[in-house]
A and B are shown apart, each in its own frame.
Chain A
Amino acid sequence: MKQNKEKTNLRTCKATLYLESPDFLIPSKLKKAVMQREADVGAVTGHAFIGLTDESGKETVYGFHAATALPENANLSFKEKLPLLVSGKYQGFVGDDSKEPYDDKMVYHITPKQYDKIKSYVEKEKANPPKYNIFSGNCVVFAYKALRQADLKLPPQPLFYNPVSAVLGIRLYEKAHQIKQDLKQATANILSRFSSTRKISKEILQGLKKKPVKQAFGVKTVVSTLAGNTVNALRHRGSSCR
């Protein structure tokens, strides 16, 4: 029984948030190195989709699209597509995005229980897909809603749900994580070299401050010191006469 419980707590599965970043977010030096993509709406707006990897290592990839992306609508021009995408009345669908290109990804190591929660949500959405809306019912909303089923912390979305914020969030997290790793290393280094119990007093430290071997005092300093001494002497005399 206990063994079973421990097994379900192990993070043996994975959930991955994939991002095809909009063209302008791909550094120019990497433009030729990124995965090949079609010059469609996704290349302008970006695209988000998710991967779910089970305990055996098999990944299933899901993405939410407007029906404009279906092969039968391939002849629609961008001008014809746009009003459909913002109308909120156009049908969406959850498809297999395993062939989609991506530039950034956030991998979450999750438990089988979390895996099941996400899987059950995406399968439900796949069977009964919602309408598509570029602002409130887009690919990012789908991916975030799915991953939130497992209470995962996702890149922040300060405006409306969009691939740009997710891309920037992932890149920032990666850099911050690397810096944090360096700090962890420093912490471990300090803890191995210095005592966690021995204390040092402020007075002793002060006493160990290096005093200069020689100091120079020019006429201005000497005069001001003399003047200060005179004032102090007069004050002292005044107070002792009272």
Chain B
Amino acid sequence: MSTQEELEAERFLHRAIKYLQSTFPDTVKEMDDETLKNKLIDDCQTALEYGFDTEADMMMVVDFLWRIPVDYAQLPEYEWVKEILTSQDMDKEMKIDALHNAFATIKALEEDETEESDETE
């Protein structure tokens, strides 16, 4: 029989899946229900490892992880993700802000490069 905590967690996952479906429809479409739920749980556990333990905090990290490559931990150009998440100097809010700032700058640079190569083609 499910405990109250398990029921709350189930409800949270249900809402989280709804959020992912509306925010990242293309990525979600490529997954079956089982893969989606398991990936969400894995990402929540990653968030927990870095101290993001409330539903909202966890989802901030999950949302961010869904915006970067799945294998970010192996990519040298994404080393900043771990650096920010493990920083001793920032609180959780500052960490999310720093992740967003770094991501926005990198994406802007990528878009700039894409536009430049479109120009030269």
Contacts and interface: CB of A to CB of B under 8 A. Distances in A.
A189 interface: yes
Given A194-B55, A200-B55, A175 B9 contact: no
B112 to A, nearest CB: 6
A235 B119 CA distance: 67
Interface size of A as a range: 35 or more
B85 interface: no
Contacts of A210: 33-34, 37-38
Interface residues of B, number: 41
Nearest to B32: A210
Contacts, number: 106
A194 B87 CA distance: 25
B8 interface: yes
A198 to B, nearest CB: 5
Q: Is the interface of A mostly helix, strand, loop or mixed?
A: helix
A175 B107 CA distance: 8
A202 interface: yes
A180 B34 contact: no
A207 interface: yes
Contact of A191 (B56, B107, B111, B115): B56
B108 A175 contact: yes
A206 B45 contact: yes
A44 interface: no
Contacts of B73: none
B51 to A, nearest CB: 11
6 contacts: A172-B108, A187-B96, A189-B19, A190-B63, A200-B12, A205-B9
